[in-house]
Structure 1
Amino acid sequence: MESLLFQLLNGLASASTLFLLASGLSLIFGVSRIVNFAHGSFYMLGLYLACSLANGLTAYDPQLAVSAYWGAILASSLLVAALGLLIERGILRRLYDAPELMQLLASFALVLLLRDATLALWGAEDRLGPRAPGLEGHFTILDRRFPVYDALLIAIGPIVLVSLWVLLTRTSWGHCVRAASEDRDMSALLGVNQPRLLASVFALGSALAAFAGALQMPREPAHLALDLHAVGDAFVVVVVGGLGSIPGAFLASLFIGLTKALCAWAGDVNILGVDLSMPKLTLVVEFVIMALVLMIRPWGLLGKPLTAARLRHQPDTAPQDLSKTQSSLIAAAIVLGVIAISYAGSNDYGLILGVDAMLMVMLAASLHWMMSAAGLHSFGHAAYFGAGAYAAGLLSLKLKWGFFASVLMAP
């Protein structure tokens, strides 16, 4: 029972961080109706900036360790909030009335752009942050040690929840946010400055993501894979809790965090004669929870079904198609460019690059077929790509099939 208690406490600490991340995403979606894939990038940048600022200030004057640590967390949150504001005003504001697919692609392009910028600024190596000065210790529960910093994280989640509740229900800005989340057109007619409101919401959501990332300095290193990992977890929480619902995000964070903690505690179990490693299920249990919630309550635990006012901001117009001549010229230019790259240089790199390009063309064509014929905008399409690669590899290595037989049978 002692180990179960400590696993649950660790789950609460992780749930608190997950709530900070997901609350910003839920807040942004509730008003703008944009699914922002770059939200995980703000989390990653918050951790990178906090590590750099805290380490730099501490190295400059070790006596400033406490101020450097908490100042770095605050500064990184403000810097990322400013970056989020610039992105909203410069890019996303032009896409509020665009089709959903264009919004998704634009935010995903931001993920790639911010990751490359992070790579250029900090390099590919992981960055370690300092431990929180004065909170390096632990306290004893049932003769076992629990970190003081994790206890602080557990407390921060409810504090942020109450703060957001007060902000959204007891201030004029919060009333405007709630009105815009219900009906942006009506709130605009009542005099709410929509551009300013959307910009402030995006800045606050970005700051919350960076704050969640910066708080992870003593717990994990900053690395380039944090963006997609973080945004995946945040999306699950937002969907389970209900799109645009802050209390729902808090409840979903607790549920997912504690469920993963229970899986880690259970260890290896035997169910109906089948051996299962429960700790390994922590990688997929949150997606199982999301699937179950969507089947039972598609709008989430505390979410609301979309009303007609909300649906008015889901455009159904597609961008103007290119003419056949324009499409043919673009396709020919791409093919010629790939061929030129493939045969350029004296090594095989160009040929490999050309093959990769053609494979991506096939993948894009298959996704286009699903979107155009079936109307499915699926970001899980890459799973089929990976499954086909694994199937071909297993047929070739395990069953000793030839190349062409493996490639033909894998699909």
Structure 2
Amino acid sequence: MAKVVVLPKPVPSTNLAISVTPVVFSTVAYDSKANITPNNSTDLVQWQTGSYKTTYLPANGRQTKFVFDKTYVDPATFVNKDTAVAGYPAKVAAIAGDTSTPSRNSASAPVAVGGLAASRVAQDAGLKWQVSGLSDLQTASESTNPWKYQWQFFDGDGKKLTTPTTAQGVTHTSGTIATIDALNSDQNILTFARDSSFMKDAAAATTKGKPYRAQVTFTTTASDDSKKRADNTITVSSNVAELQVTKPAGKLSLDQVPNFNFGDINVSQVYNGTKNAAKKPEVTSNLAISDTRVGANDWQLTVNMTPYKTVTGTNLVAGNVLRLISDLDTSNTDLIDNNTPVTVATSAKTKPAVWPIKAQLLLNANPNIDIFNHQRFISTVTWNLSSNQVAVPTAQ
């Protein structure tokens, strides 16, 4: 039994706000609610289609279900070029009161129809293309059955392309998932490999002003008889969106740094030092830098070293040197264990490559140190590659 409250006179609304799902899919019914101030207002809420092809059931009342027409997923009608909006930009709108109500209030809430934002990415970056609104779609569909998905691709004129293959660097173009929001997981998300043949073709199309386009279609079966279509199948499609692939961005990278492990040395070399020894402990390891940026010539490489000490905190006498012998800017660089950065290479004198770095261990004498067999002394050598354009992670 419903409770009915009869008011002595109409209560006009002073404010109206709409609650709505921010990303929706065409042909699927979603809930919307009108929030009226004051709550006991007697104004009638009327849902407005405006310029959008929307159906409201019911057309009046504080709560309704709305459905956007499939026009918004038709490739001939709309192609999303915006990377910030996940679909066709539309609105759900309503008024509280009628034309004869002086205090009539109106409100609208933005929604994106279709779930697919355009993607803009460099050819050498790769891409995982997400679809928005999938959790809400799962709820609105009321289906508990698995979903199948299939991506379709189009050229810049809207002509359908052959679905790219793994050999072309594109994976997860179709499959079956337990719930539709699983599409964005690593196991199912549409993925484009960096510098793949497909990305190169897409970059060429973007350069010509005709970016490729993509759209995904989902199918499932209804979970109960009241939701069944004539063929018991539910089909939902995203909007069509552009894949804007730009020229390779290039990258400055510190790909490998040396690991100088001198192994076992004689205890006398620690007590007496090695700076004046005829033969010094030495080891060789590789350093590698790559730079695929176009027209960039602005990097420098510095290195610094911490004092030698054991895991228990025993330090060697300060002022030990790691002599780096290489084909970098200077053939010999003395690195002192005081954590002071020293520049060893710049793009003005050295081109990116792989270099063998020979390191000689020049220890000061430590006549008063207490050491035992197999005690390890460790120093951290930090390499820092920097540029005016990009930040490159340091390496040790």
Larger Rg: 2
Shared fold, TM over 0.5:
no
TM-score, scaled relative to structure 1: 0.18
Determine which structure has the larger helix proportion and give its number: 1
Determine which structure has the larger strand proportion and give its number: 2
